[in-house]
Amino acid sequence: LTSALFNRIDSTDGQIKAYVTLDKDRALETARLADEKADFMQPLTGIPMAVKDNICTKDLKTTCCSKMLENFVPPYDATVISKLKDVNAVILGKTNMDEFAMGSSTESSFFQVTKNPWNLECVPGGSSGGSAAAVAADESLYALGSDTGGSIRQPAAYCGVVGLKPTYGRVSRFGVSALASTMDAIGPITKDVTDCAIVLSAIAGIDSFDPTSSDISVSDYLKCLHDELNGIKIGIPKEFLDNAVIDKDVKDAFLNAAKIYEKLGCVCEEISLANAEYALWAYHITVAAESSSELGQYDGIRYGHRAAKYEDLKDLYKKSRGEGFGTEVKRRIILGTYLSDAQNYDKYYLKAQKIRTLIKKDFENAFNKYDLLITPTVPTTAFKIGEKIDDPLKMYMNDLYTTPVNLAGLPAISIPCGFSDGLPIGLQIIGKAFDEASILRAAYAFE
């Protein structure tokens, strides 16, 4: 199986460019050992997979697709990687992403632009675009991504695969490079919902290395897939449909999905998430402020690229960071530093946190009455490479429907629900905190 995947990568990845690093020798050796000790109680044993390049893999380059970390080889594994290695998963390699996970198209990678397997002129989405493209192009059986504002769900939607962002705290964040540590989550990108349940079961659970990981017990995600949907109450936030940015085809596919749920015995009703319209801005303020602080560690001394020539310490910082970071990262560092400055803190960061609380309350109210909420994952399908790279505000609009979920720390999945002009459309199913089981069950019934 692993050899077959490498053959596939050899024949297609020259075009798709999903991988930035391959680990062929070690993968083949792990696969050989997995064959020897095949434990058929472990569904992931010997199954080849790919890892987003911001998740630390011991002795295997982890670059965050930045010049800053171009040659960084971690001395340890992220907890999700240790867990997968414990069940003898086979790591094929590391996948392309937007630099430091900032972006929605994978175009801000220092290394290369990944193509959407459905249409090579289009982006795969981002920031986990390499992971989603690898799975969609049959270059991996599943992949891990990270999602701070939509980076698993949006590329999954654009590439026609399944992507789950777990509840904040459900999966350990130890070993993922932080973008915004109050919102980051690691999750699976898979070909179908069953695989998603299997991978989530393998990576979920409390971890002493991540104090924000939760001790709430992990459900049997595979078993619950077959539970009845009858009587489930689904809310449809009207603000996600009545706006100027949604494509007609996306809206139609979404409304059709809602009808399918009614046929499956669910009750679908329109609801209001009144503060959702402020989510995108609260999100971007939070992300800029938190990431500018997280990225402070890359000073060219302890971590990261060091400039070859400099005059003094200050000049070393300036040149190393100036050379090491790309445009989008610099934009957010400058913005974040401004927003979290003592003079501006109340005006922006604090206000964003207040909006965050209101959004959380909106969701709480909705979940008092409804079991699940559904929305389109993204207002549009995949856009053309180059179309939005020079217009950050247009790029940020991609995250309109995904960011409220991260602000509230809730779980959500994107599953394919239709096509427009040959490009996939995603359906987002949002659940109560730690109720991944209900999301997976509804996703499985739809599939």
Q: What is the DSSP letter of 57?
A: B
Residue 385, token pair as written in the block: 């490479």
Query: Catalytic site residue 52?
Result: yes
Separation of alpha carbons 230 and 236, rounded Å: 17
Nearer to ligand GLN, 261 or 278 (CB): 278
Q: Which residue has the tokens 């992220």?
A: 78
Q: Which of 110, 203, 112 is nearest to 152 (CA)?
A: 203
CB of 169: closest distance to ligand GLN in angstroms?
17
Q: What is the full DSSP assignment across 163-210?
A: EEEPPTTTB--TTBPPS-TTT--EEEEESSHHHHHHHHHHHBS--TT-
CB of 179: closest distance to ligand GLN in angstroms?
5
Separation of alpha carbons 239 and 71, rounded Å: 45
Residue 64, token pair as written in the block: 């965050």
Query: Catalytic site residue 233?
Result: no
CB of 57: closest distance to ligand GLN in angstroms?
18
Are 53 and 99 spatial neighbours (Cβ–Cβ below 8 Å)? no
Beta bridge pairs of residue 171 = 204
Q: Where is 373: in which H helix or E strand?
A: strand 372-376
Nearer to ligand GLN, 136 or 279 (CB): 279
Separation of alpha carbons 103 and 89, rounded Å: 29
Cis peptide before 272 (omega within 30 of 0): no
Nearer to ligand GLN, 46 or 376 (CB): 376
Query: Catalytic site residue 115?
Result: no
Nearer to ligand GLN, 185 or 423 (CB): 185
- How many C-beta neighbours within 10 Å does residue 312 have? 8
Residues 6+ apart with CB under 8 A from 126: 97, 98, 103, 104, 105, 106, 107, 108, 151, 154, 155
Nearer to ligand GLN, 2 or 151 (CB): 151
352: number of CA atoms within 13 Å, CB side? Answer: 22
Q: Where is 94: in which H helix or E strand?
A: strand 90-95
Q: Which of 163, 140, 160, 159 is nearest to 150 (CA)?
A: 163
* Active-site option among 105, 151, 177, 414: 151
Beta bridge pairs of residue 233 = 267
- The residue number with the shortest CB distance to ligand GLN is 151
* Angle of CA points 392, 394, 395, to nearest 5°: 60
* Active-site option among 127, 291, 320, 414: 127
CB of 431: closest distance to ligand GLN in angstroms?
18
CB of 209: closest distance to ligand GLN in angstroms?
21
- Binding residues (CB under 6 A) for ligand GLN: these are 101-104, 127, 146-151, 179, 287, 399
CB of 142: closest distance to ligand GLN in angstroms?
19
CB of 297: closest distance to ligand GLN in angstroms?
18
Which residue type does 228 have? Answer: E
Are 413 and 429 spatial neighbours (Cβ–Cβ below 8 Å)? yes
CB of 180: closest distance to ligand GLN in angstroms?
8
Q: Would you please indicate which residues are annotated as catalytic (active-site) residues?
A: 52, 127, 151
